[in-house]
Amino acid sequence: MDVDVLVVGAGLAGLYTATLLAQRGHDVLLVERRPKLTGAIRTTGIFVRRTLDDFALPPDCLGPPIRRVVLYPPSQRHPVTLVSARDEYRVADMARLYVAASSAAADAGVRISLGTRYAGREADSFLVVGPDGPACVRARFVVGADGARSRVARDLALDRNRHLLVGAEKVFAISGGEEPPTFHCVLDPSLAPGYLAWVINDGNRAHVGVAGYADRFPDGLRRALDRFGASAPGLAGAGRSDEVERRGGPIPVGGVLRRISCVDGLLVGDAAGAVSPLTAGGLDPCLRLSEHAAAVLDEALRAGRPDALSHYDGAVLRAGFRGRLMLRHGLAQVRTPTLAATAFTLLRTRFGRAAAGRILFGDKSFPAP
Ligand SMILES: Cc1cc2nc3c(=O)[nH]c(=O)nc-3n(C[C@H](O)[C@H](O)[C@H](O)COP(=O)(O)OP(=O)(O)OC[C@H]3O[C@@H](n4cnc5c(N)ncnc54)[C@H](O)[C@@H]3O)c2cc1C
């Protein structure tokens, strides 16, 4: 098969990049190893205000707005509550959102091949293995939208994510409950070493999760999630459905990688390390970087100049992450519950609350290319 662009991975980054390229008239094949987009979801799906303002996400895929964040020390006693004057977050029904995004891609002319794994590069073509067996694809460019552990990055000899957290969560429908839609974050390194444990309850569904450095969970990620689930805040008085969906995956937090393009292709989303090192939010960055990628690829295809991809430079974008990388380093040093409790006393001060408010409700987003 001959195409202009082969996109590997139908997460949000791959779906969006493929759609933008097809809308510009290019012939795009999108391959995804998952047999259906509603399974094996790897994200909570919290979209921040900046994304909701700038991108037209289908409203029927979004949960109620959330303005309230409650931050807890390891003891979970005397939390700090922050309430924004604006709607800050909405949790998407990701299964529905992926289906809507794939319909938009197909409408734009993208050929989507599910249950199809990218298996490597062979001379001037790419090998994919689908339900009908292996096939060779000749593409002018390949886009690695294949997540944090990108095989495309390896095959193109581009940079690869080395600084990763792992996260896992349980998702269930909820009814009743005593509080407005709220995002609860617990700073406890014995549950979430180097990051946070969370409950996000928007009144429709609750997500209970933990994330951290894989080698620092005292008794493993799964047990940490079970322990947190047993004492998680924010669920009092709420009815829970018995059906529980489990999600999880790696989260690159080392900042945008420096080398994310070469003459044969480029990386987007998690494959490019486009995740906030501090908050571990990757949905806003993956949409913004996909727009940049599609513009650069469009120019390269129209002008027939592969060197146009050299404008797609991770080192330039990375400069905008300096502050967040420093804060990530700081969070990684909070290794014991005692230290977390001490750090938490800072959060109770006016300065601490203002700083937390800036991180949680601020206007900062992925650096504009
Ligand atoms: C537990 C967890 C919770 C998170 N919660 C949030 C959140 O609430 N808000 C937020 O902003 N960010 C969150 N993130 C981060 C965010 O989800 C990611 O940054 C974002 O989803 C990345 O999208 P992507 O398209 O780059 O990658 P992915 O969504 O990982 O998509 C990559 C796709 O490539 C496919 N693939 C991989 N290899 C191959 C191959 N060889 N052949 C074919 N297909 C392949 C995979 O099956 C997958 O579908 C979370 C991450 C985790 C792990």
Ligand 1 residue neighbourhood (C-beta within 6 Å): 8-14, 31-34, 42-46, 117-118, 145-147, 151, 167, 169, 209, 247-249, 251, 269-270, 275, 280-284, 286
Q: How far is the CA of 248 from the centre of ligand 1 (A)?
A: 9
Q: Is residue 330 part of a domain?
A: no
- What's the rounded mean pLDDT across residues 93-102? 98
Q: How far is the CA of 290 from the centre of ligand 1 (A)?
A: 14
Query: For position 353, which CATH number holds?
Result: 3.30.9.10
Q: Please tell me the predicted confidence (pLDDT) of residue 307.
A: 85
User: Do 137 and 191 belong to one domain?
Assistant: no
Q: Is residue 23 part of a domain?
A: yes
Residue 306 has pLDDT above 80, yes or no: no
User: Do 16 and 138 belong to one domain?
Assistant: yes
Over the Cα atoms of the chain, what is R_g?
Answer: 21
Indicate which residue's Cα is closest to atom 27 of ligand 1: 147
Atom of ligand 1 nearest to the CA of 167: 1
Q: Which residues of 62-87 are buried (b: 16+ CB within 10 A; e: fewer)?
A: bbebbbbbbbbbbeeeebbebebeee
Atom of ligand 1 nearest to the CA of 51: 11
Q: Is residue 328 part of a domain?
A: no
User: Do 62 and 6 belong to one domain?
Assistant: no
Residue 366 pLDDT grade (very low, low, confident, very high; cuts 50, 70, 90): confident
User: Do 221 and 291 belong to one domain?
Assistant: no
Atom of ligand 1 nearest to the CA of 12: 25
Residue 363 has pLDDT above 90, yes or no: no
Rounded to whole angstroms, what are the CA distances from 230 to 224, 264, 299, 336? 10, 49, 53, 21
- For 292-336, the DSSP string reads HHHHHHHHHHHHT-GGGGGG--HHHHHGGGHHHHHHHHHHHT--S
Residue 143 has pLDDT above 90, yes or no: yes
- Tell me which residue of 39, 49, 120, 139 sits closest to 86, measured CA to CA: 49
Query: For position 1, which CATH number holds?
Result: 3.50.50.60
Specify the range with the lowest mean pLDDT, choosing from 33-42, 103-112, 191-200, 315-324.
Answer: 315-324
* Segments forming the whole domain that contains residue 72: 46-91+164-252+336-369
User: Do 85 and 103 belong to one domain?
Assistant: no
Indicate which residue's Cα is closest to atom 25 of ligand 1: 11
User: Do 108 and 196 belong to one domain?
Assistant: no
Tokens matching residue 323: 């502050």
Indicate which residue's Cα is closest to atom 50 of ligand 1: 43
Q: How far is the CA of 81 from the centre of ligand 1 (A)?
A: 30
Q: Please tell me the predicted confidence (pLDDT) of residue 353.
A: 95
User: Do 84 and 221 belong to one domain?
Assistant: yes
Q: Is residue 302 part of a domain?
A: yes
Rounded to whole angstroms, what are the CA distances from 192 to 186, 220, 336, 362? 8, 10, 10, 24
The pTM assigned to this predicted structure is: 0.97
Express each pLDDT in 225-248 by its tens digit. 999 999 999 998 888 999 999 999
Express each pLDDT in 168-201 by its tens digit. 999 999 998 779 999 999 999 999 999 999 999 9
- Give the span between the Cα atoms of 318 and 314, in whole angstroms: 6
Q: Please tell me the predicted confidence (pLDDT) of residue 308.
A: 87
The count of domains in the chain is 2
Residue 1 pLDDT grade (very low, low, confident, very high; cuts 50, 70, 90): confident
- Tell me which residue of 104, 107, 20, 112 sits closest to 297, measured CA to CA: 20
Q: Is residue 331 part of a domain?
A: no
